[in-house]
Structure 1
Amino acid sequence: MHDLAVIWDWAGFGIRWLHVITAVAWIGSSFYFIALDLGLTKAPNMPEGVYGEEWQVHGGGFYHIRKYLVAPAAMPEHLTWFKWESYSTWLSGAALLMVVYWAGAELYLIDPAKAELATWQAILISAGSLTIGWLIYDALCKSRLGTRPTTLMLLLFLLLVAMSWGYTQVFTGRAALLHLGAFTATIMTANVFFTIMPNQRVVVADLKAGRAPDPKYGEIAKLRSTHNNYLTLPVIFLMLSNHYPLAFATEYNWIIASLVFLMGVTIRHYFNVRHARGGNPTWTWLATAVIFVVLIWLSSVPMFRDEAGEAPAMSGEARVFAAAEGFAGAHEIVLGRCSMCHSREPFWEGVRWPPKGVLLETEADVARAARAIYLQAGITHAMPPANLTGIEPEERRALVAWYRAATR
């Protein structure tokens, strides 16, 4: 059974790799088409219905691209659809969420100091919360606010701030920021699946039937694509945040996450204006730098400390590891080799927060982190980094023996 941990970890690695590959494809195509759309120019003698054109050079060849504001007069023989990049990114991300945070709920998802949740309750909240944003956002877009894009974006930002705070009240800081990213990515993919693609299919159907497509379908799709454009960079930040405790394991992590959405707007605004040949809005870089400095300040002032009283009770699975042969020795090894960083008040020089928010002080801490200890410090030498604390080979073997005794 202990080999299942290795297989499971490799499965998570493979899914994460797939998620990154599909995300690169989706983000790349999204950024390309936004830049293309903004860079279109008028030219004499363009065919009827053409909004603008652009000449591009790449890979040793020239490309002549034209955009029809609604649709061409007839259905083209070859038509490439851009949808699977988005779908594959969301599906692989959902799979990764299940493998890492649902299967590892006790270590990565549930924070007993915030909410005493059973694993099934935490998973239900995790899955259910991802749909809420889309339902609210979609309702706002379909209301009269759909014609007021600035107001709509402001309300979307307030929704994201509310969810940022809400997630930090229920889950671990690491899981909270990750879920905010998944929450936002769900809105983006739902835009593609429920709005952009159906509208494009209506236009295609009209062309095939010889009808003139209604311009409103293109306008609606364009609005949703623009929203996706501004949300992309914050989602990337939130997906990377789980590697940086200064982002997720601080007292004001929900404010940090909220401000990241503003940085996403300032950065994208700069490139959008440049692509539209509208100037060089360098003020956006100053604004981004100021916000980033505020993030740094929020991550360290005031210093965040976990002042919870008693350590939360162990779950059934953790009790199995605590009762297994070799636990006392494993706990002693972890205290001597790992707790100087993975403690509520780290005393290793330069470490101010436990890496990735993982605590390895109490017996309950060690029992909950059994699988991670087995993988990181038992069968591999990932921890301690560069073996700075001098963990001995026999100590690693003792950690492996303890884990395997509990999983026989």
Structure 2
Amino acid sequence: MTGIITLICWLVALLITGKYTYTLYHRKEKAIANDDEKLQQKVAKQQNIAYTLIVSLSILGAGIIYYFFVRNTVYEGHFFEWLNLIIRWMHITFGIAWIGASFYFVFLENALNRQNVRDELAGNLWAVHGGGFYYLEKYKIAPKEIPKNLHWFKYEAYFTWLTGFSLLTVVYYFNATSYLIDPEVLSMQPITAIAISIGSLIIGWIIYDVMCKKLISNKWVFIIAMTIFLIFFAWFYAHVFSGRAAYLHFGALLGTLMAANVFFVIIPGQKRMVAAAKKGLPPNPEDGKAAFIRSYSNNYFTLPVLFVMISNHFPSTFGNTYQWLVLIGITLGSAGIKHYLNLREKEELSVWVLPISILLLLAVALVTAPKISTEKCAEEVTFEQVNAIIQKRCIVCHSATPADAVWKVAPNGVKYDTKEQIFSLKDKIFQRVVVSKNMPFANQTGMTQEERDVIACWVQQQAIE
């Protein structure tokens, strides 16, 4: 039933987009006949969006139809693996473009030469790159004449968020019981977890937006409020979702704030500024100020978001007992490093910002280091004991022939079929099973603490030998 509803929704969306595209075609012909250049440019932009939607919907439709054929077959897992891969690839690509633009324009703002420039300019900058010289100027308000080909930096943000939310849906919503929910943290139904997930992003944006509007006039009040805001959501996610999902949602929250800043504040403000300049009116300085503040805010989120994107590869962080404190420590430390870089670009170096940030990150690394107890290792543990545990709890996924319903190929190519494979991966087993306890995944096979202790003793005894 769900599949039929999805297919109907797709067909309706495709028909609406097709009709819209057909209407634009006739509107463009009319604009050409009337020699209306302004309308032609407007319609051309709308056509680009419509064509993009048609292509995207066509690809989506092909995927839906293909899924109907492979559903409940051995190819279903392969389908989702490639869907995950493609969306993740797109998300990273758009994210690089967006964060790169953020880095560049904040650098540009910080590095502007503001001395001996024309009255209408805020500053200028000479640069050399790729074998060419570049000269850039920033206007205090706007040029006397707005150029026709004015480039807007917005789609990088939009597509990064859309692909990120798609990835959240495919990985965490479609597999909520495996990835999103950890019964040892909070037992709930998938629909409840998904509702909390989406609701937290919306509520988070509303709170953040209010703080920006009401508290930004006092920098330190805003910084303190923002820190409390981040601490609360890190704590909240850690007490609702699995460790992986908690970190991912913290990053999704920051990404939502960043994209919403662009969509609701920066771009609308810039559109009003451009419209005013075209009419020969002075733009509202509040629009430029608000856009600048939100853009700078986004810049400080970049390094924490990048950490979250790679955090799933490092279980000592999200698998720690105090995972939310670890997350906050890394967030504040990385934001501090970004602040240092911003100060450096403005040649306003601070003696303490970088050392404090690095010390904070080092403290997190120290806190997340494994704490080994040898009290339970009085008796020698044999390989046979360990192998029995692995065959019972791990081999269902980590094998050349996995029996798991989801994993049809050994995750990350890790296999425990032979003694040699287990010995060669004993340190990784120790990190995942004993230190972070994030394996077996969501503890689906029910590994006990006693079994983890046996593996810990065996690895330690091997290290002594």
TM over 0.5: yes
1:288 to 336, 340, 357: 357
1:83-106 C-alpha deviation (Å, 9 max, x unpaired): 011111111100111111111211
Conserved? CA contact 2:432–2:439, under 8 Å: no
Query: How far off is 1:238 after superposition?
Result: 1.3
Q: 1:123 Cα shift?
A: 1.1
Aligned pair partner of 1:353 in 413, 416, 432:
432
- Corresponding position of 2:79: 7
Instruction: Give, in angstroms, the shift of residue 21 of structure 1.
Output: 0.4
Does the 8 A contact of 2:316 with 2:368 survive in 1? yes
Q: Does 1:64 align with 2:135?
A: yes
State the alpha-carbon separation in 2 of the partners of residues 179 and 138 from structure 1.
18
Q: Secondary structure at the match of 2:75?
A: helix
Deviation at residue 327 of structure 1 after TM alignment: 7.0
Aligned to 1:138: 209
Cα distance in 1, alignment partners of residues 338 and 268 from structure 2: 27
Q: Which position in structure 1 is the counterpart of 2:191?
A: 120
User: Residues 80 and 131 of structure 1: is their aligned pair in 2 closer, same or farther, counting only changes over 3 Å?
Assistant: same
Is the contact between residue 157 and residue 261 of structure 1 (CA under 8 Å) also seen in structure 2?
no
Question: Within 2, Cα distance between the matches of 1:257 and 1:153?
Answer: 18
Task: Return closer, same or farther for 1:327/1:260 CA change in 2, 3 Å cut-off.
Answer: closer
In 2, Cα distance between the equivalents of 1:166 and 1:45?
50
Question: Which residue in 2 is equivalent to 1:28?
Answer: 100
Larger Rg, first or second structure (1 or 2) = 2
Q: 1:87 to 1:67 in 2, by over 3 A?
A: same
Q: Which amino acid aligns with 1:52?
A: G
User: How far apart are the structure 2 equivalents of 1:33 and 1:362?
Assistant: 45
Q: Which amino acid aligns with 2:163?
A: S
CA contact (8 A) 2:117 2:123 kept: no
Q: Is the 8 A contact 1:22 1:86 kept in 2?
A: yes
Number of positions where the alignment pairs a residue of Structure 1 with one of Structure 2: 331
Query: In the superposition, relative to structure 1, how do residues 112 and 361 fare at CA in structure 2: closer, same or farther (>3 Å)?
Result: closer
C-alpha change, 1:101 and 1:165, in structure 2 (3 Å) is same
Match of 1:40 among 105, 112, 117: 112
Alignment of 1:95-174 (within 5 A): 95-143=166-214, 145-174=215-244
Structure 1, unmatched stretches of 5+, are 305-320, 329-333, 341-346, 367-408
**Deviation per CA, 1:143-199, whole angstroms, max 9, x where unpaired?**
2x1212332122112111101111111111111011001011101110000000010
Matched, 1:16 2:88: yes
Q: What secondary structure sits across from 1:135 in the alignment?
A: helix
Partner of 1:211: 281
Indicate the residue corresponding to 1:259 in structure 2.
Answer: 329
CA separation in 2, counterparts of 1:362 and 1:266?
36
**2:182–2:442 contact (8 Å) kept in structure 1:** no
Letter of the structure 2 residue corresponding to residue 292 of structure 1: L
| 1:186 is the counterpart of 2:267 | no
Distance 1:115 1:361 in 2: 12
Partner residue of 2:265 out of 189, 195, 201:
195
- Residue deviations 1:15-55 (CA, integer Å, cap 9, x gap): 10111100100010100000000011124351x42111111
SS at the partner of 2:126?
Answer: strand
Question: 1:224 aligns to what?
Answer: 294
Aligned to 1:379: none
For residue 216 of structure 2, give the secondary structure of its aligned residue in structure 1.
helix
Change over 3 Å in CA distance of 1:44–1:222 after alignment to 2: same
Q: Whose relative contact order is higher, 1 or 2, with alpha carbons under 8 Å and at least 6 apart? A: 1
Contact 1:12 1:96 in 2 (8 A): yes
Counterpart of 1:272? 342
Q: Taking structure 1 as reference, are residues 58 and 13 closer, same or farther at Cα in structure 2, changes over 3 Å only? A: same
Q: In structure 1, the residue corresponding to 2:282 is in which secondary structure? A: coil
TM-score normalised by L of structure 1: 0.75
Residues 167 and 179, structure 1, Cα contact 8 Å, conserved in 2:
yes
- CA displacement 1:113-139 (0-9 Å, x = unmatched): 122211111111111111111100101
SS in structure 1 of the partner of residue 343 of structure 2: helix
Shift of 1:78: 2.0
Measured at CA, do residues 356 and 126 of structure 1 come closer, stay the same or move farther in structure 2, by a change above 3 Å? farther
Q: Structure 2: state its 5+ residue gaps.
A: 1-72, 374-395, 397-401, 405-409, 420-424, 448-465
The 1:360–1:226 alpha-carbon spacing in structure 2 relative to 1, beyond 3 Å, is closer
Q: Secondary structure at the match of 1:2?
A: coil
1:359 deviates by 1.4
| Counterparts in 2 of 1:161 and 1:58: CA distance versus 1, 3 Å | same
Q: Which residue pairs with 1:314 in the alignment?
A: none
Structure 2: how far apart are the matches of 1:201 and 1:361? 47
